[in-house]
Amino acid sequence: MTVSARPITSDLPLLETKLYLPKWSADRVSRSRLIDRIHPQRKLTLVSAPAGFGKTTLLAEWVAAVPTRPVAWVSLDPSDNDPAIFWTYLITALQNIQPSLGERSLSLLQSPQPPPIESVLMTLLNELAAVEVDITLILDDYHAIETQAIHTGISFLLSHLPPKMHLIIASRADPPLSLARLRSHGELTELRVSDLRFTPDEAAAFLNQGMGLEISAVEVSALEQRTEGWIAGLQLAALSMQGREDIPDFVAAFSGDDRYIVDYLLEEVLQRQPDRVRRFLLQTAILERLSGSLCDAVTDQNDGQGMLETLERGNLFLIPLDNKRQWYRYHHLFADVLQAHALMEWPERLPSLHGRASAWYEQHDLFSDAIRHALAAQDFERAAGLIERMWPTMRRRQRETTVLGWITSLPDSLIRNRPVLSVAYALVLLNDGQLDAAESRLQDAERCMGAAADSQESLAVESVVTDDAQLRSLPASIANARAYRAQALRDVSGTVTYAQQALDLLPEDEEYERGTTAALLGLGYWTSGRPEAGYRSFAEGLAIFKQMGLTQIAIGGTLILAQMSMAQGRLHRGINSCEQSLQLAKEQGDPVLPGTPELYLALSELRYEQGDLVAASQLLLSGETLRQQASLSGAKYLWWVVQAQLKAAEGDLETALDQLQEAERLYYRTPIPVPDVRPTQALRVRWWLRQGRLAEALGWVRECGLSVDDPPDYLREYEHLTLARVLIAQYRRDGTDELMHQVTALLTQLLAAAEAQERTGSIIKILVVLALAREAQGDLSAAVTSLERALTLAEPEGHIRIFAECGAPMVQLLQECMNRNITPTYTQRLLTALETWGQPQDDAPIASVGASPQTLIEPLSQRELEVLRLLNTELTGPEIANELVVALSTVRTHTKRIYSKLNVTNRRAAVKRAAELDLI
């Protein structure tokens, strides 16, 4: 028999039976009173009740009642807790309505490096918004979903649902969504147990017409009351009554709570079935879905299809999953109790049944199900072999979480004696941040391979490896994993050593691994203070991916190339890299590839470095427009940093500092960290100096653990240069000569280290600070000497920001350079930029003119005045945050400060007090 499946990718199949609309039969009891309550005009209809209350049947009737309305259906089960699988099924279901619907979002989801799910969903929402007809998406058995990331995605979908889209969720329990908010906004329809229970009339129709019984109204009423309208209970009772002559006595004796009723009635049903049917039921109870071929494999018989049709005709809780009656499932409650009986009666036979199911799934290339049943059979050797076969595919698809669940279900002793599995486990653990545990697994693999080599028992090792090529590639995989681990630990030399070792071991045709390793080596070089070597290696890795057709990886990695170029001072090269990748991205058409918005982000920062603030702002805006569609999750904080830098360049330091705070909140270290060569705390300190907040800057010096006696360290270079700037500002205030000797000594050491590694970008930055130090000491000649060299290096790349942010001392130095005819054209450009760089567009005083400082506990800052004026509007807190382009938490912080300074406790009082003081 052919399995009805389509690929999620070329390697991972998608079961079409999960997408079939269940058929409504006219001989069932109609629930017209409930059909009319489902309002497609509302965002969500929730059908929530325990098993056996007819949720699926009700929705099947609703679908039949609205034949002209396009409906997409997904029958969920526990295997859908992987977000990639869940969203693939959901989007594919929508494509059953309109084949082109969701093409872009599905392409994003199935890409080698999928973007954050918000980006995929934003693309999907845009596609849904373009659909002109009303559509409904039904998610059945949603209680099977336990992954919070999926719930979060559904919440996001509901928040932005287009008007013509309606979502129906059927679940045994309320999903963790914002039901209260939807309810208060009139966007939720709810059908619960009290609604779904059969009424006496419905119960009579079901028992006498549907189940073919002839019982009195009194008996119907008794059963309806004792089952409390529970449909499955009535069905079970009807099955038990078929063929009985003592129906009145049966009804009179029928009592007990639901759990005991279920146990009793199912036992009655099973005992009343012929042995052949009963055996079939217990054998196939382990299956989530049933087909004739699969049942034949599990039961070792050849009448599976006929048995399924017999069970369906006998109303034995069998639900068809497709239009051809090839795939079925048992009613969930029925399956639960069948499994319990099978475990009680045949505990020794269940492993073999699971084993047969695993073999069938493997033969039909359904490896996830094959692994699940192999684990259930406790055939761990078989499961391990299947996992090893699936590992390369799962790794490429970034499905490490699923693999981790599989491997942790295996005995530890088995894993430790399978080197391929041990290395796969190590890589999964690395991705999960478990660095020490990963190293232990790598050592297991090496021990196993070493023992085999020493005893010449390589065949024994190979016997537990599905693919000989995997065994041959293990040394390179181990070296690669150790490079990954070293980079995560900031072991720079280890990263470079192991990555180079992996490249030496990898064959030329292992393109994907070579690309990954070259990129990793590039990060290692950069972290060690060699950005030029890092750029070359990283660019080589991206070129391999591009050659393989993995355009998305090449585009996504360009942000790092641009950052390396900026670190090296090579601005033109960074711009060229971004523009080439942007052209490549445009050639791909829709959908927008992940990493494309970050190309605009990088270009914005590069233009900012060159002093073109207008172009930088426009590029940032262009990137923001695309950001919701395909942004990189690890770059969220960087958007706020670049916005903050532009605000600071425009003289709005208050907003810049707020945005920098949001950047810090969003920052996190990725499993393979990119060097943080511009810590936001140090950037904040530089802006404090521009505000004259020297005391706070000195507080940072005391807390950060830096010293002028520290040896040069590339990763702390930005902080050391910030330290030097703080001490220069302190010297200008206090005039302590010894302090400046220490500063110049530190800068001299930093310069020597940068020159030794040919770091042009670092050399320029260090020379600028050294010139400021000499100027502060009054040694104008030495200052100009340092600045002249910096200008000579910076002019070809068009650096502006490095000089322009230095303020008045730099103006004096540049004027002296003009007098000496040093790079005159470039120097004049810098002097022109300095006239406006960092100057507020509005030079209003910190407090309003009408407010005397004596009337306030403490004067309000400019930003607090802006917040105060917005508090005097109808805007909500989130809307104020959106207006100011800051986080809501930042608005709340400002609001608390305003209340404190005005000596009030609420918004209304603050507005009233502010009006009295003429602040608004």
pLDDT in tens, 654-683: 999 999 998 888 887 676 778 888 899 999
Mean pLDDT of the chain: 85
pLDDT-derived band at 735 (thresholds 50, 70, 90) equals confident
Average pLDDT for 839-868: 57
For 81, which DSSP code? G
Cα–Cα dist 573/578, whole Å: 9
Banded pLDDT at 191 (limits 50, 70, 90): very high
Q: How confident is the model at residue 454 (pLDDT cuts 50, 70, 90)?
A: low
> What is the distance, to the nearest Å, from the Cα of residue 357 to the centroid of all Cα atoms in its chain?
33
In this prediction, residue 261 carries a pLDDT of 55
Containing 143, the helix (H) or strand (E) segment is none
Q: Which of 356-365, 548-557, 741-750 has the lowest mean pLDDT?
A: 548-557
Instruction: Considering only residues 918 and 501, tell me which one the structure prediction assigns the higher pLDDT.
Output: 501
Q: How far apart are CA 900 and CA 910, in angstroms?
A: 10
Between CA 232 and CA 300 the distance in angstroms is 31
Q: At 262, is the pLDDT very low, low, confident or very high (cuts 50, 70, 90)? A: low
Whole-angstrom Cα distance, residue 160 to residue 142?
20
pLDDT-derived band at 843 (thresholds 50, 70, 90) equals very low
> Beta 71-75 vs 165-171: how paired, if at all?
unpaired
Backbone φ/ψ region at 243: left (φ over 0), alpha (ψ -120 to 50), beta: left
So what's the pLDDT on residue 254? 63
CA proximity to 171, closest of 152, 135, 196: 196
In the chain, where are the structural domains located? Answer: 5-196, 200-264, 589-836, 853-916
pLDDT band at 257 (very low <50, low <70, confident <90, very high): very low
Identify the three-state secondary structure at position 205.
helix
Please list, in sequence order, all residues whose beta carbon lies within 8 angstroms of the beta carbon of residue 187, skipping any fewer than 6 positions away.
42, 43, 44
Give the predicted TM-score (pTM) of the model.
0.69
Q: How far apart are CA 440 and CA 434, in angstroms?
A: 10
What contacts 748, CB < 8 A, 6 or more positions away?
770
pLDDT of residue 698: 94
More confident residue, 69 or 336: 69
Residue 629 has which token pair? Answer: 């569609």
pLDDT for the residue numbered 297? 96
pLDDT at 273: 80
According to the CATH classification, is domain 5-196 in 3.60.20.10? no
Is the Cβ–Cβ distance between 128 and 162 less than 8 Å? yes
Sheet architecture: strand order including 290-291: 290-291, 327-330, 318-320
325 or 600, which is more confident: 600
- 857: helix, strand or coil: coil
Quick one: residue 34, left, alpha or beta (phi over 0 = left, psi -120 to 50 = alpha)? Answer: alpha
Mean pLDDT over 308-325 rounds to 78
Identify the CA nearest to 354 among candidates 339, 337, 332: 339
pLDDT band at 1 (very low <50, low <70, confident <90, very high): very low
Task: Give the architecture-level CATH label for domain 589-836.
Answer: Alpha Horseshoe (1.25)
Q: Taking each helix axis as running N to C, give the angle between helix 613-630 and helix 596-609, from 0 to 180 degrees, rounded to the nearest 10.
A: 160
Residue 846 confidence (pLDDT): 31
447 pLDDT above the threshold of 70: yes
User: What pLDDT, in 10s, does the model give residues 468-496?
Assistant: 677 778 899 899 999 989 988 888 899 99
Bridge partners of 189?
Answer: 45
Range 140-161 average pLDDT = 91
Cα distance between the two ends of the chain: 78
Nearest to 643 by CA among 672, 666, 669, 675: 666
Q: Is 5 helix (H, G, I), strand (E, B) or coil?
A: strand
Q: What angle do CA 855, 856, 860 make, to 5 degrees?
A: 130
Cβ–Cβ < 8 Å for 234, 203: yes
Interatomic CA distance for residues 864 and 871, integer angstroms = 10
**Which pLDDT value is given to residue 579?**
95
Q: What is the DSSP string of 650-710?
A: TT-HHHHHHHHHHHHHH----SSPPP--S-HHHHHHHHHHHTT-HHHHHHHHHHH---TTP
Q: pLDDT by residue (tens digit) across 517-530? A: 999 999 999 999 99
167 touches 161 (CB < 8 A): yes
In this structure, what token pair is assigned to residue 368? Answer: 């996830």
- How far is the C-alpha of 251 from the C-alpha of 375, rounded, in Å? 44
Token couple for 541:
């890795």
Determine the pLDDT at residue 313: 73
Strand runs (DSSP E) across 734-850, as ranges? none
The two structure tokens encoding residue 674: 């990119």
Indicate the burial class of 255 (C-beta count within 10 angstroms; 0-12, 13-18, 19 or more).
Answer: exposed
Q: Which of 74-78, 565-569, 665-669, 748-752 has the lowest mean pLDDT?
A: 665-669
Q: Which residue would you say has higher pLDDT here, 613 or 456?
A: 613
CA distance linking residue 55 with residue 169, whole number of Å: 10
pLDDT for 378 beyond 90: yes
Q: At residue 739, does pLDDT exceed 80?
A: yes
pLDDT in tens, 82-104: 888 999 999 999 999 998 898 88
Q: What whole-number distance in Å separates Cα of residue 829 and Cα of residue 825?
A: 6
CA gap 335, 159 in Å, rounded: 36
How many Cα atoms are found within 13 Å in the side-chain-facing hemisphere of 115? Answer: 32
CATH architecture label of 853-916: Orthogonal Bundle (1.10)
Q: Could you tell me if 785 and 752 are in contact, meaning their C-beta atoms sit under 8 angstroms apart?
A: no
Phi then psi dihedrals of residue 679, to 5 deg: -60, 135
Residue 536: per-residue pLDDT: 96
Contact in structure between 371 and 402 (CB atoms under 8 Å): no
- Quick one: pLDDT band at residue 550, thresholds 50, 70, 90? confident
Assign residue 490 a region (left: φ > 0; alpha: ψ between -120 and 50; beta: otherwise).
left
Q: Which residues pair with 15 in a beta bridge?
A: 5
Is residue 884 scored above 50 in pLDDT? yes
